[in-house]
């Protein structure tokens, strides 16, 4: 009888205790990663310009589009702008834009948050490195587009 009483007592106590919650099998939702929008003091969501010399070239980035111009554009040999989608991969103090332009040319623009001595006595907020396959990498400076004089 004692065994029966002990068994009944265990069953009664088990019925009175709260039910265990089922184990969660779904992963907790993770917030999507947000790309950093600052590189040093430069807001990457605002227009940016990188400009190099010998050979002369410019890259303007605005509204998610990169526009590349070189000596052929300045001489009138190219009639349409060469553009491509621009979404940087930001790591620490570096932003990398790997772009395929509308003419099929690929380029990689790397911006680094270090001051860059530009032509004359100007100092730009970013150092730029332009790599185009089949040519050498070219070093230059970059800054917010508003830091450059307006074009004539």
The pLDDT tens digits for 76-124 are 676 678 899 999 999 999 999 999 999 899 999 999 999 999 887 889 9
* Between residues 14 and 50, the one the model is more confident about: 50
Task: Indicate the burial class of 85 (C-beta count within 10 angstroms; 0-12, 13-18, 19 or more).
Answer: exposed
Q: Measuring CA to CA, which residue among 54, 85, 58, 52 is closest to residue 74?
A: 58
High-pLDDT (> 70) share of the chain, %? 72
- Report phi then psi at 100, rounded to 5: -105, 120
pLDDT at 31: 46
Those residues whose C-beta lies under 8 Å from the C-beta of residue 124, and which sit 6 or more positions away, are 115, 116, 118, 141, 142, 143, 147
Q: Which residue has the higher pLDDT, 37 or 152?
A: 37
Give the pLDDT score at 118. 87
> What pLDDT score was predicted for residue 44?
94
Q: φ and ψ at 113, to 5 degrees?
A: -80, 65
- Tokens in use for 148? 């450059």
Residue 75 clears pLDDT 80, i.e. is over it: no
Q: Give the torsion sign (CA, 111, 44, 56, 134).
A: positive
Q: What per-residue confidence (pLDDT) applies to 10?
A: 45
pTM of the full structure: 0.73
């Amino acid at each position: 009888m004692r065994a029966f009483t002990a068994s009944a007592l265990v069953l009664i106590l088990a019925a009175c205790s709260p039910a265990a919650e089922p184990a969660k099998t779904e992963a907790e939702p993770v917030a999507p990663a947000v790309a950093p929008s600052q590189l040093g003091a430069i807001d990457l969501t605002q227009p940016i310009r990188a400009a190099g010399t010998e050979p002369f070239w410019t890259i303007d980035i605005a509204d998610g589009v990169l526009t590349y111009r070189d000596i052929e554009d300045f001489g009138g040999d190219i009639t349409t702008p060469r553009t491509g989608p621009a979404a940087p991969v930001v790591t620490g103090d570096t932003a990398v834009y790997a772009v395929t332009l509308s003419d099929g040319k690929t380029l990689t623009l790397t911006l680094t948050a270090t001051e860059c001595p530009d032509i004359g006595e100007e100092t730009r907020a970013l150092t730029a490195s332009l790599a185009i396959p089949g040519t050498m990498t070219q070093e230059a400076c970059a800054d917010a587009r508003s830091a450059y004089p307006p074009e004539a």
